[in-house]
C-alpha cells in the first residue's frame, strides 16, 4: 500500500493492565500500558501478551492483494476519489485459493491477511448489508462479487477454507477510511456531485455500513490471526470498532493498533516499521508505539511489522509485466526484517485469472528454500552454556568449525531485557601454522536490540573453536536460543537500495 505512507495514523486498541501497585484497585483501560519495574535499575519493562509473542513466532506472513484493483492498470483506487471500476471487470476465471496456499507454504509463511475490501469499495464477499441512500431508498450494498461475472462465489470464504486446510493463520484487511463507491475519503462522505458508479449516503450511514461489514467479516469467518487497519480509522468510528473487536475477535493481533500517543485499541497491537521497503532499522525494539525502530524504554509492548512487495516499484496489486525483485534482494529483505526483530509481511498478488503466476511462485519458493537451507540446521556445537546470572552464552566446538553468522533469540515472556550484546569468537584461521593454545577472543559482531530474533552475518566466514555472547540488560536475560550457521552467501546482508 503506497496508501499507507500517506494516511497512516496508528491506532492501538488495548485492554491493558497497568503495573500492579499494592492496595490500589487496578482498572483495565484500553490505553494503559502493561509493564513491570526492572529490579536492577528501576526502568519500565513492557510486557507482551501471549498473542503478541505467538504472532512474533510466525516471523513471516503474506498480505494478499486481490480485489477490483487487480483489474485496472493503476495500483489501486488510491488518490482517484471518483474512480469506481465497473463491477463486470472482476472475473477471475481460474481462481483457486488452495493454489495460493501452496505458495504461502513454500515461502514458509505462517499467516495470510487478505484484502477483503480496498479503496475502490468493492467487496470480494457477497456483503448483504443494507442501507439508506441519500434519496431515502433502502438498498443492498451492491458493489460486491455478487454483482460480478463470478456471482455465486465468495473469495473470502474460499480463502478462509484453504487457510484452515493448510494450517495457515488467516486475517483481513478492510480499508475503513476510504470507499470510492460511497464517495468516502478520510472517513468522510464528500459533498461533491456523484460520479459514475457512486452511491450517495450520509456520514452516519457510512459509519454504520463499516460496522455492519466488519461485524459480518469478524463473525462469519472464524478466529482471525491478524486484522489490518490501513490508515487507522476516524475518531467517531474508533470506540465502536474497539468494542466490536473486543467482543468478536479479542485474540486478533491488530496492525496499526496504537496511536503514537499510546492510545491503543487492543493489547494485541503491533506497529508499522515506517517504510514499505522491507527494511527495519538495525536497532529495532519490540516496544514503543512510533512507526520506526521503537523505544527500549517504552512501557508499551508493540512489535513492528515490515510489509513489503515482491514486485518492484512498491506495486501491491498484480501489475502486468511488472518485474520482480531479485532473489538476492529478497534475501536481504529477510535479513533486514526477520533478522532485525520485525515481522516480514510479504505482498502476494494473484493475477487476473485468480492464480499466483508461475514466475512469482518460483521466486517465493526460492526465498523459502534459502531460509530453510540456511537456518533450519544450525552448525552443531559440542557444548552450549548459558550462565544463569550474567547474560552470557557460550558455544564450544569439538574441532575447528566454520561459521559465518549467528542467530540470537531472547525469551520475551517477561519483556525484552537485553540492551546490547557482543559476539566474540576464538578464530583459529587468524593464526599461522605455528599454532597456539591461547587463541584470543575476537569481536565478530555486536548490536543493541535482540528481541524475538536478531541475525548477524559476519564480515567473512571464520573457523572457530568457541563462541561467546555477552550482554548488558535491565534484568537477567533468558535466552530462547543462540545458534551459528554457515550458508551460501548469495546475498551479503548489506543493504540494497530499492530501484
Q: Residue 398 or 459: which CB sits closer to ligand NAG?
A: 459
Kindly state whether residue 28 participates in binding ligand NAG, applying the rule CB under 6 A: no
What's the CA gap between 161 and 448, in Å, rounded?
42
Q: Residue 47 or 68: which CB sits closer to ligand NAG?
A: 68
Residue 129 C-beta: closest distance to ligand NAG, Å: 7
Query: Which 248-277 positions form the footprint of ligand NAG (CB under 6 A)?
Result: none
Query: Which 82-121 positions form the footprint of ligand NAG (CB under 6 A)?
Result: 86-88
What's the CA gap between 486 and 490, in Å, rounded?
12
The correct pick among 37, 40, 80, 139 for binding ligand NAG (CB under 6 A) is 139
Contacts of 340 (CB under 8 A, 6+ apart): 280, 281, 282, 284, 449, 454, 455
The residue number with the shortest CB distance to ligand NAG is 293
Q: Quick check: 112 and 356 in contact, CB under 8 A?
A: no
The correct pick among 26, 29, 79, 128 for binding ligand NAG (CB under 6 A) is 128
Contacts of 206 (CB under 8 A, 6+ apart): 179, 182, 184, 187, 189
What's the CA gap between 253 and 51, in Å, rounded?
7
Q: Residue 281 or 339: which CB sits closer to ligand NAG?
A: 281
The correct pick among 248, 470, 476, 487 for binding ligand NAG (CB under 6 A) is 470
Kindly state whether residue 389 participates in binding ligand NAG, applying the rule CB under 6 A: no
The correct pick among 55, 71, 143, 272 for binding ligand NAG (CB under 6 A) is 143
Kindly state whether residue 196 participates in binding ligand NAG, applying the rule CB under 6 A: yes
Q: Residue 87 or 237: which CB sits closer to ligand NAG?
A: 87
Q: Quick check: 39 and 296 in contact, CB under 8 A?
A: no
The correct pick among 28, 98, 188, 429 for binding ligand NAG (CB under 6 A) is 188
Q: Residue 131 or 318: which CB sits closer to ligand NAG?
A: 131
Contacts of 212 (CB under 8 A, 6+ apart): 129, 131
The correct pick among 47, 83, 116, 199 for binding ligand NAG (CB under 6 A) is 199
The correct pick among 203, 236, 383, 495 for binding ligand NAG (CB under 6 A) is 203
Contacts of 15 (CB under 8 A, 6+ apart): 28, 29, 30, 246, 250, 266, 267
Q: What are phi and psi of 235, to 5 degrees?
A: -60, -35
The correct pick among 161, 164, 282, 328 for binding ligand NAG (CB under 6 A) is 282
Q: Residue 195 or 402: which CB sits closer to ligand NAG?
A: 195
Query: HSE on the CB side for 392, CA within 13 Å?
Result: 7
Contacts of 313 (CB under 8 A, 6+ apart): 319, 322, 499
The correct pick among 12, 47, 145, 189 for binding ligand NAG (CB under 6 A) is 189
CA angle centred on 237, ends 233 and 238, rounded to 5°: 70
Residue 321 C-beta: closest distance to ligand NAG, Å: 26
The correct pick among 73, 136, 376, 494 for binding ligand NAG (CB under 6 A) is 136
What's the CA gap between 243 and 224, in Å, rounded?
16
- CA-closest candidate to residue 10, choices 218, 240, 292, 345: 292
User: What mask of x and - would describe binding to ligand NAG in positions 422 to 451, judged by CB under 6 A?
Assistant: x-x-------x-x------x----xxx---
Q: Quick check: 378 and 428 in contact, CB under 8 A?
A: no
Residue 86 C-beta: closest distance to ligand NAG, Å: 4
CA angle centred on 305, ends 471 and 222, rounded to 5°: 125
Q: What letter does residue 440 receive in the DSSP assignment?
A: P
The correct pick among 293, 299, 303, 451 for binding ligand NAG (CB under 6 A) is 293
Judged by CB under 6 A, the number of residues near ligand NAG is 39
DSSP-derived 3-state class of residue 193: coil
Judge residue 353's burial from the number of C-beta atoms within 10 Å of its C-beta, 0-12 exposed, 13-18 middle, 19 or more buried. Answer: middle
The correct pick among 59, 259, 276, 292 for binding ligand NAG (CB under 6 A) is 292
- The residues binding ligand NAG (CB under 6 A) are 86-88, 128, 135-136, 139, 142-143, 147, 188-189, 191, 196-197, 199, 202-203, 220, 281-283, 290, 292-295, 420, 422, 424, 432, 434, 441, 446-448, 470-472
Amino acid at each position: 500500500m503506497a496508501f499507507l505512507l500517506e494516511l497512516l495514523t496508528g491506532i492501538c486498541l488495548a485492554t491493558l493492565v497497568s503495573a500492579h501497585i499494592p492496595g490500589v484497585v487496578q482498572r483495565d483501560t484500553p490505553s494503559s500500558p502493561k509493564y513491570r519495574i526492572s529490579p536492577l535499575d528501576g526502568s519500565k519493562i513492557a510486557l507482551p501478551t501471549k498473542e503478541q509473542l505467538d504472532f512474533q513466532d510466525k516471523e513471516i506472513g503474506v498480505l494478499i492483494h486481490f480485489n477490483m484493483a487487480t483489474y485496472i492498470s493503476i495500483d489501486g483506487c488510491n488518490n482517484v476519489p471518483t474512480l469506481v471500476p465497473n463491477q463486470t471487470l472482476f472475473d477471475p476465471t481460474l481462481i483457486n485459493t488452495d493454489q495460493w496456499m501452496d505458495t504461502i507454504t513454500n515461502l514458509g509463511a505462517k499467516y495470510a491477511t487478505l484484502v477483503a475490501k480496498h479503496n475502490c469499495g468493492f467487496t470480494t464477499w457477497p456483503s448483504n448489508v443494507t442501507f439508506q441512500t441519500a434519496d431515502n431508498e433502502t438498498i443492498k450494498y451492491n458493489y460486491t462479487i455478487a454483482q460480478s461475472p463470478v456471482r455465486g462465489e465468495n473469495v473470502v470464504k474460499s480463502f478462509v477454507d484453504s487457510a484452515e486446510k493448510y494450517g495457515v493463520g488467516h486475517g483481513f484487511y478492510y480499508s475503513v477510511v476510504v470507499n470510492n463507491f460511497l464517495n468516502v475519503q478520510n472517513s468522510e462522505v464528500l459533498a461533491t456531485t456523484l460520479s459514475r458508479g457512486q452511491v450517495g449516503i450520509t456520514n452516519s450511514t457510512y459509519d454504520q455500513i463499516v460496522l455492519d461489514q466488519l461485524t459480518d467479516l469478524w463473525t462469519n469467518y472464524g478466529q482471525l490471526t491478524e486484522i489490518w487497519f490501513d490508515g487507522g480509522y476516524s475518531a467517531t468510528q474508533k470506540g465502536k470498532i474497539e468494542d466490536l473487536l473486543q467482543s468478536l475477535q479479542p485474540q486478533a493481533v491488530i496492525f496499526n493498533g496504537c496511536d503514537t500517543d499510546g492510545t491503543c485499541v487492543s493489547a494485541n497491537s503491533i506497529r508499522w516499521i515506517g517504510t514499505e521497503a522491507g527494511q527495519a532499522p538495525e536497532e529495532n525494539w519490540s516496544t514503543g508505539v512510533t512507526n520506526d525502530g521503537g523505544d527500549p524504554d517504552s512501557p508499551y509492548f508493540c512489535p513492528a511489522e515490515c510489509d513489503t512487495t515482491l514486485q518492484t516499484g512498491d506495486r501491491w496489486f498484480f501489475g502486468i509485466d511488472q518485474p520482480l525483485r531479485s532473489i538476492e534482494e529478497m534475501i536481504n529483505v529477510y535479513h533486514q526484517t526477520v533478522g532485525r526483530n520485525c515481522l516480514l509481511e510479504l505482498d502476494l498478488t494473484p493475477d487476473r485469472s485468480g492464480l499466483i503466476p508461475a514466475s512469482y511462485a518460483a521466486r517465493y519458493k526460492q526465498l523459502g528454500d534459502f531460509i530453510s537451507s540456511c537456518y533450519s540446521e544450525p552448525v552443531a556445537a559440542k557444548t552450549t552454556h548459558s550462565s544463569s546470572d550474567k547474560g552470557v552464552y557460550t558455544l564450544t566446538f569439538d574441532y575447528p568449525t566454520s561459521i559465518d553468522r549467528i542467530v540470537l533469540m531472547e525469551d520475551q515472556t517477561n519483556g525484552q531485557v537485553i540492551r546490547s550484546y557482543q559476539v566474540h569468537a576464538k578464530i583459529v584461521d587468524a593464526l599461522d601454522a605455528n599454532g597456539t593454545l591461547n587463541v584470543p577472543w575476537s569481536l565478530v559482531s555486536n548490536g543493541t536490540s535482540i528481541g524475538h530474533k536478531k541475525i548477524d552475518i559476519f564480515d567473512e566466514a571464520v573457523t572457530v573453536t568457541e563462541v561467546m555472547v555477552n550482554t548488558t540488560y535491565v534484568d537477567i536475560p533468558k535466552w530462547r536460543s543462540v545458534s551459528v550457521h554457515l550458508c551460501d552467501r548469495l546475498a551479503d546482508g548489506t543493504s540494497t537500495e530499492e530501484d
